[in-house]
Structures are given as structure tokens and as C-alpha cells.
Amino acid sequence: MATNNYFDFLEQNSSDNPASSTLGNNNEGMVNLTTRADAECQVVCDGDFLFLLPPNQIIKEKAPVGQHILQFISTEYPNVVVEKVVDFSEEGKNYLVLVSDFQALLADRIKKTAEEKVAAESKARAEAEEARIKAEAETIVSIEFIAKLEGKGTYTGHLKDGKPEGKGKVVFENGSKYEGDFHNGFRHGNGHFVYSSGETYDGGFVEDMRTGHALFTFKNGDTLEGEFLDGNILNKPNIYKWTNGKKLACFGWDGGANGIGVKYSKDGSAQEELWEHGKRIKIGPSTNLIPIDLGLSVKWSSMNFGSSNPEELGDPVYYGNEPCTQESVIFFGEKWRLPTTNEVQELIDKCQWTYLKYLNNRGVMCTAFKVVSSINGNSIILPVGEEEDLLSGKILINEYYWTGDFAAGDNTQHTSLKIREQDKSGLSFSTGGQYSEGRVRLVAK
């Protein structure tokens, strides 16, 4: 709202052929007022209607002396108003009030009105569609469903445009089941799928196919986490978890673990392994192995392969299905290897072997040899197992530790250290063939 400037009335305005109007017949206390606007409007003074002002025409009138609020209100768009505060201070003076911004205001109002109309129509259509979809979505139906791989089944859930949409479930004729997201008639989004064989899949679907990051659960409880595409797991990094708490983070999968992987035990220790088509072909030691210097030609590891502390026997290695050769039992990084027969003999000859049987701090009975170097006094613990001789009833030690040497002239047999007594008299070398079992104690390269 702006204050009106004073204008002396110019007689040349009369050439505009103005209309004329008088607020009162008495000229006492009045001024001469001339008005003009660039669009048709109603003129209101202090809330009272005065007259209709045609566009670009002049109306002359008398107005009372004093300060007033003049409002010019568009006839076509009543919410477009130009308001002026005028001060008619001197009686008999001539005053001119012009309004030249109506056209711009009206053009803006027309544009906004058109936009508001389009927006209102669009909103109405959206609300109608939303209502239709809501009504359809609130109706649960059961219809026939045909999947790309599983075939026919019965879908129970909501529809959109006559097709499964939103949350729903399908029971297939082959016994498999699905529950999860649907879109445009397909299983699409995330879902839980139970195979007829009992395995389960929890993860993404794209147009009916298992695609995306998912968790596959086998019948025995083992799980496989990885990326699926078109129903198959990709040959990409994945995680296989056994029910005993161990897990394998492998770099690929082609029906089984494939490539280099890291196997983690429940205690968090890890070892590297190499798998091909679901079969472990090379294995490495635990990452928490420490090389112990006994003053010998090689440094011996602090614990057995597959163990989490020096008192544990660790995982057995079977000759045949897991070949026990220096090339097969490796640490990726070339830090460890199997000892030779001569290096094991050196361990026997230059160390004291003391048999121990005790309860450890976890209350577990341990049987082991403490092997102490005669050169520098350092030691390692070499765990062994016991068994009862059925004929004599005597408790005997029965343990084998693999070396990296084949039997002389026979690469189907492998040499191991055999331990049968509670002192060095029970140490000897033996050979084992296919599927023979033994423990592994590595040495540093």
C-alpha cells in the first residue's frame, strides 16, 4: 500500500472525453478528483462503493477533504485489488489518481488461475485413481498364477489392473511356496521362497526370477549368502556358513564354493583355502599362527593346522580326498609349508619330549608333548590323542603328523610321524595311503 502523490489537475485531461460523477452536491469541504485505470474496476472509498471505472477512461468527481483509502477492485477477478492511501488536504484543489499496474496483475492472475485449474484437475484425477487402487488393493482374491520356473500355483493377495500387486503369496502345484512382493503380475521385489525339497531362498526377485542379494538355506541348516541372477547364484564372492558356526568367505560359486576363500572359526581365527567346484583342494594355516624359534634349521608353528590354541589337535587332514603334499597344504602368501622327514627328525634329536596330561583353564583334559629345544630352551606344545588297546586294556597314544615327503619310490604313499608311547621310544615314521588321517604342524618357509 503506497501513499498517493499530489497532482495538480491539468485541463488537457478533458480531451479524454471523461465521464463525470459527483460525491455530493455541496462543494464546501470538497476537492476535485480525477481517476483513471488501465482495466475495468470498481472504485471503493473507505469501504463504500463509488462507481464502476471503465478501462482507460477518466471520471471526474468531488471528494471530501481528508485522508482516505481508495480501492480499485477488478471486475473480472475481484481478488485483484490495487489500494492507495490518498491525502486530500486542501479544499478546492485538483487531485489525480491513476492506476497503471492492473494489466500486469491481471495477466499474472490469469496465468495462476489456469495453473490452479490444471493442478485441481490433476489432483482430482489422482484422487480418483488412488481411490480405485485402494478399493482394488483392499480386496483379497485367489487366482491362478503361473511362474516361469515353478509352473502353476494359486495366488492369494491383492490386484492392480487385474494383476497381482503388493504383498501376496503363492502355493505351487509342485509343493514350493512363495510369500513376498508382487508387481505387474510378477514376483518382483523381496520375498521368501521355499523349495519343494525344503531349501529356502530369502532375497530379491525381478519379474519372477530370483535376482539380487539373497540368503539360501540348505535342508541341513547350512546357509549361502550371495548374488543371484535369473534363478542362479553368480560366480561372485559369497559366504557359506556351516551349522557348527564356521563360515567360508569364498570368491566364487559354480554349484559349490569356487576359488580362493577364507574360512573363519567360531573364535574368529581364519585360514585361507582354495576350492574348485565345491571341493577344497588346497588349505592354509590359521592366521593366528606364530613361528617359534627352537634354534633348529626351521621355525615351527605355534599350533596345529585348524586349531585356535596350542592345546587343540586341530582339523585332521586326509590323504587322498585332501592330498597332503607341500603343494596342497599351503598358506597363500607363501609363509608356511609341511616339514620334511629330516626336519621332523631334527625336532626329535635336538629337543626334549615330555608327556603332559592336565586340565586346562576351560576344564578340558589335554594330552600333549611339551617339546623343549636343547639349544635355546624355547618350546612348542604338540597335542596327541589317546585310545584304549582292546586286548591289553592299556591306554595308548595314537597320533600321526604328516610330513611333506612321499614314501621312497611310491607317490601313492605319504610319510608321517607316528606317536604311540609317552616318550621318544614311541616315535617312528610311518606311511599312509589313500584316506589315511593325520594332523598337520607347519614350518615357516
118 Cα distance to chain centroid? 40
171 by Cβ neighbours in 10 Å (0-12 / 13-18 / 19+) ranks as middle
* 3-class state of residue 256 by DSSP: coil
Cβ atoms of 121 and 102 closer than 8 Å: no
* 3-class state of residue 117 by DSSP: helix
Confidence of residue 285 (pLDDT cuts 50, 70, 90): low
152 closest CA partner among 175, 184, 181, 185:
175
Q: d(Cα 261, Cα 242) in Å, to the nearest integer?
A: 15
Q: 178 Cβ partners below 8 Å, 6+ apart?
A: 147, 150, 153, 169, 170, 172, 187, 191, 192, 193, 194
Pull the grid cell for residue 325: 603334499
Looking at per-residue pLDDT, the higher value among 267 and 158 belongs to 158
Cβ atoms of 215 and 203 closer than 8 Å: yes
Give the mean pLDDT of the chain.
Answer: 84
Q: Where are the domains of the chain?
A: 2-106, 141-234, 289-444
2-106 with 141-234: one CATH topology?
Answer: no
Can you name the CATH fold of 2-106? Immunoglobulin-like (2.60.40)
Confidence of residue 71 (pLDDT cuts 50, 70, 90): very high
- The tens digit of pLDDT for each residue in 27-36 reads 778 999 999 9
Residue 262: per-residue pLDDT: 82
| Strands 30-37, 94-99: pairing kind | parallel
| Site of grid cell 626329535 | 348
Pull the grid cell for residue 113: 488461475
Q: d(Cα 169, Cα 145) in Å, to the nearest integer?
A: 10
Looking at per-residue pLDDT, the higher value among 153 and 16 belongs to 153
Q: d(Cα 176, Cα 287) in Å, to the nearest integer?
A: 42
Residue 329: per-residue pLDDT: 56
Can you name the CATH fold of 141-234? 2.20.110
* Sheet containing strand 427-432, strands side by side: 399-407, 410-419, 427-432
393 Cα distance to chain centroid? 60
Cβ atoms of 27 and 57 closer than 8 Å: no
Residue 41: per-residue pLDDT: 92
Report the C-alpha dihedral over residues 190, 192, 195, 197, rounded to 10 degrees: 140
Average pLDDT over residues 235-264: 83
Pull the grid cell for residue 408: 621312497
Residue 284: per-residue pLDDT: 66
- The tens digit of pLDDT for each residue in 408-428 reads 878 778 899 999 999 999 999
- The tens digit of pLDDT for each residue in 110-134 reads 888 889 889 999 999 988 888 877 7
